[in-house]
Amino acid sequence: MPKTDYVPKRDGDLDAYEQNFVNKLTTQATALALDPAEVTAI
> Tens digits of per-residue pLDDT, 3-42?
888 888 888 899 999 999 999 999 999 999 999 898 888 8
Q: What is the domain extent for residue 28?
A: 11-41
Per-residue model confidence (pLDDT) at position 4: 81
Degrees, nearest 5: CA angle 29-42-12: 110
Q: How far is Cα 7 from Cα 37, in angstroms, rounded to an integer?
A: 25
Q: Are 25 and 42 spatial neighbours (Cβ–Cβ below 8 Å)? A: yes
Residue 3 falls inside a structural domain? no
Predicted pLDDT of residue 1: 63
Q: What is the DSSP letter of 42?
A: -
CB distance 17 to 8 below 8 Å:
yes
Burial class (CB in 10 A: 0-12, 13-18, 19+), 30: exposed
33 domain residue, yes or no: yes
Q: What pLDDT is recorded for position 7?
A: 85
Q: Does residue 4 sit within a domain?
A: no
Instruction: Tell me, yes or no, whether 32 lies in a domain.
Output: yes
- Residue 1 inside a domain? The answer is no
pTM of the predicted protein model:
0.71
